[in-house]
Chains A and B, each alone.
Chain A
Amino acid sequence: MIEQNNNNFEPRIIAFVCNWCTYAGADLAGTSRIKYASNVDIVRFPCTGRIDFMLLLKAFAKGADGIIVSGCHPNDCHYTSGNFHARRRWMVFRDMLNFLGIDVERIRWSWVSAAEGAKWADVVNKTVHKIREMGPYTEYKKAAMFLEKEKISYE
């Protein structure tokens, strides 16, 4: 339910998180009843290394205004090095997106451990706040809706 006008605009945010640290951290936020903005939907992956960059782009194409990518802190990866490989991938990916004029400021990268429920809530709130300031991300979705230029007669 994206409001297209900025006042009372509620961002849609997808969070891509690893199962062992950030997902557990989010659970901890839950068990500790820490309240945070409900604009975020969490998608659970085994490891940040598993997160395919195409899924981020798809999220934008389908109308996400912001994205959170989060996993275990360096050296804490449940799988030893998944987050290191992911980090490198993000570095190249981020530079490339930026060069193409895709708004990397809308992607929040973070490390949130299983013990950092409060940090998770904070990451979500800060991101939601930032994206609310930035307004809806229409450019990318518009480009995705190219076919719509051909009118259909819905009788």
Chain B
Amino acid sequence: MAGVEFATDYKYMCSDPGQNLIKQAIKEHHLDGVVVGSCSPRMHEMTFRKVCSEAGMNPYLCEIANLREQCSWVHEKCDATTNKAIEIVRGLVEKVKRNKPLQAIEVPISKKALVIGGGIAGIQASLDIANCGHQVILVEQSPSIGGHMSQLSETFPTLDCSQCILTPRMVEVAQHPNITLYTYAELEKLEGFIGNFKATIRLKDKSVDFSKCTGCGLCMTKCPQKKIPSEFNEGLGTRTAIYTPSPQAVPNKPVIDRENCNYYKKGVCKICQKFCPTGAIEYDKADKFITEEIGAVVVTTGFNVLKTDFFSEYGYGKYKDVITGLQFERLASASGPTLGEIRRPSDGQIPKKIVFIACCGSRDPAKGLAYCSKICCMYTAKHAMLYQHKVPDGESTVFYMDIRAGGKNYEEFVRRAIEEEQVNYVRGRVARVYEKNGKLIVKGADTLLNAKPVEIEADMVVLATASIANNGAEDLAQKMHISYDPYHFFAEAHPKLRPVETNTAGIFLAGACQAPKDIPETVAAASGAAVKVVSLLSKPTLVREPLIAVVNRCAPPQYSTCVGCFMCQTICPYQAIEREDITDRRTGQVIKTIAKINPGLCQGCGTCVSFCRSKSIDIQGYSNEEMYAEVSALLNK
């Protein structure tokens, strides 16, 4: 290929010896351009550009030919594939010939982090960041932080009480000087880019002035609306219209749920206001919006579980005593509606026979969920165990597909359930659950005893329903411009090497909003994300890739070929295009006004470049000349 001074190959170019090969070549042959034919640039572009700059070459004179992900891995081994590889390299050789040396751009950083979601992930991330001395804004959509973990009874594999370990953390968050907590709030808008985001947060009106409220709880005892199913108790208990989700809520001050409040529904009531000793109740206040300058975002919005009504074969949730795992947690929880006693939702009787069904929805492409929810095997074992402790004469059966107990002390935990607690494990799928004279009949097949049909009579059935993405996850992703998978779980930048980063620089992930995760994993990810944030916020300034648009300049009397129609201003998604007056040095009189791109704001999408009629805007790193050369070279023989 014309202009290629030196070519070599090596099995692992990204390894140390490989990197040294490149460095040597640059030095020996005085190269002013390097093309690495290897894996995707999304993988190692950074690595190789760093190598080049270490060898004294401008890093932006290095291009990566994607010969693995987009050639050798997707095509059969044949001449055509080899030819394609050659073409790809030829294209980038021609491009790199035209690449210009570029200097990275430095921009200031807003030293404040935004954490979205106050579950254990959000709590952990907030505390870690805050303890490093950085400001954190924690936004929680419900009236209290704590998330799903605060609903759990005991946690596997140690069986320590969930709230006992969580509550102190919740309190710590509330009291931490570096953490600003906004409960009953949502992210409205996220603008800007890494280091310099601008977040608009909607503070839903609580109808309660927290500065006056003492959290005495009198209002809740007086509220006439008492039959509202409690979200916290997964509908197994009730709450009032003015409420805190749970007694351990943080902040432990109530909000009015407008959907169910008599005043907001009918316009009359105001009982809570009458009784409130501090006059904290204020109706009809509008939501407030605040904007915050922040440098990084951690998304920890968590997950949800399928409700029983999803399952036709198990009665669409019409059987009161067919419940979800999360509901069982509430029954088993000392702070739950039954104060920790396992009682049937239908009649409050203690079930003598109980059946647990694993993989409800999960690993079932027919139901649209091909993935494994990961936590069910463990919590089902835990549920069975808790039941046996609480109802020693009870009989518990678990239907499972296979048991996935990968994790420290997990396998031992399941064994204990089976061997010491006499939980009856049946390997097989449950075809149907139906009611027959007051009993639930669970019909399944035991696949170990070559699919021998089994029929078990049960007082209560617990479905380990699949973990799913929160509804609204898609909207949130679009607000923040991060990508998500077909199940609307948020996508990480790289499945292995960048698990807590998103494709959008400065936005990080932790916990079950990314994929089903158990508590240890979630906490680990949260701390990981926190470190990413801290390392970002600890930098004096942020060094950004100079792949941005520029307006050309040329000799007088033109000064620039830009004619200043400024139609590019309406195109730019970042308002990065400003007006610049070119003035006569002597008279100071304006000669012409042209477009000017603010390098701090430009994100390098290049939409203005292909829109500009006179080709007066070009984008560094993807310039017209470079792209033209690459396309031509792919086809030129």
| A–B touching in complex (CB under 8 Å) | yes
Given contacts A30-B70, A41-B91, contact A59 B631 (CB under 8 A): yes
A117 to chain B, nearest CB (A): 9
> A residues within 8 A CB of B71?
38
Other-chain residue from A41, A45, A85 in contact with B571 (beta carbon distance below 8 A): A85
* Complex: A73 Cα to B197 Cα, angstroms: 23
Kindly state whether residue B5 has any CB partner on chain A within 8 Å.
no
Is B573 within 8 A of A80, CB to CB? yes
* Chain B 24-56: CB-based contact to A (< 8 A → 1; otherwise 0): 000000000000000011110000000000000
* Complex: A97 Cα to B608 Cα, angstroms: 22
Chain A, residue nearest B636 (CB): A62
Is A43 within 8 A of B634, CB to CB? yes
Is A35 within 8 A of B607, CB to CB? no
Chain A, residue nearest B503 (CB): A20
Kindly state whether residue A52 has any CB partner on chain B within 8 Å.
yes
Other-chain residue from B74, B80, B81, B611 in contact with A29 (beta carbon distance below 8 A): B74
Kindly state whether residue A106 has any CB partner on chain B within 8 Å.
no
* Chain A 68-88: CB-based contact to B (< 8 A → 1; otherwise 0): 000000011111111001100
Is B628 within 8 A of A46, CB to CB? no
The SS class assigned to the A binding surface is loop
Given contacts A24-B503, A33-B73, contact A55 B631 (CB under 8 A): yes
Please, how many residues of chain A have a CB less than 8 angstroms from a CB on the other chain?
54
* Complex: A47 Cα to B40 Cα, angstroms: 17
> A residues within 8 A CB of B485?
115
> A residues within 8 A CB of B635?
12, 14, 59, 62-64
Kindly state whether residue B624 has any CB partner on chain A within 8 Å.
yes
Is A43 within 8 A of B74, CB to CB? no
Is A27 within 8 A of B630, CB to CB? no
Given contacts A1-B83, A53-B610, A114-B483, contact A79 B605 (CB under 8 A): yes
Given contacts A55-B631, A63-B635, contact A45 B606 (CB under 8 A): yes
Kindly state whether residue B174 has any CB partner on chain A within 8 Å.
no
> B residues within 8 A CB of A79?
481, 573-574, 603, 605, 607
Kindly state whether residue B76 has any CB partner on chain A within 8 Å.
yes
The 5 closest A-B pairs by CB, nearest first: A30-B69, A49-B607, A50-B606, A79-B605, A62-B635
Using a CB–CB cutoff of 8 Å, the interface residues on chain B facing chain A are: 40-43, 66, 68-71, 73-76, 78, 80-81, 83-84, 87-88, 91, 477-478, 481, 483-486, 491, 503-504, 547, 571, 573-574, 603-607, 609-611, 619, 622, 624, 627-628, 630-632, 634-636
Using a CB–CB cutoff of 8 Å, the interface residues on chain A facing chain B are: 1, 10, 12, 14, 19-21, 23-24, 26-27, 29-31, 33-39, 41-47, 49-53, 55, 58-59, 62-64, 75-82, 85-86, 89, 113-115, 121
Sampled A-B contacts (24; CB under 8 Å): A20-B503, A26-B70, A29-B69, A30-B40, A30-B70, A30-B73, A35-B76, A36-B75, A38-B80, A39-B80, A41-B91, A42-B70, A43-B627, A46-B606, A49-B605, A50-B609, A52-B609, A52-B610, A62-B631, A64-B635, A81-B607, A82-B605, A85-B607, A115-B491
Given contacts A30-B74, A62-B635, 17 further A-B contacts (CB under 8 A): A10-B80, A14-B635, A21-B483, A24-B42, A27-B70, A30-B69, A38-B80, A38-B81, A42-B88, A43-B630, A46-B604, A47-B607, A50-B605, A50-B610, A76-B478, A82-B573, A114-B503
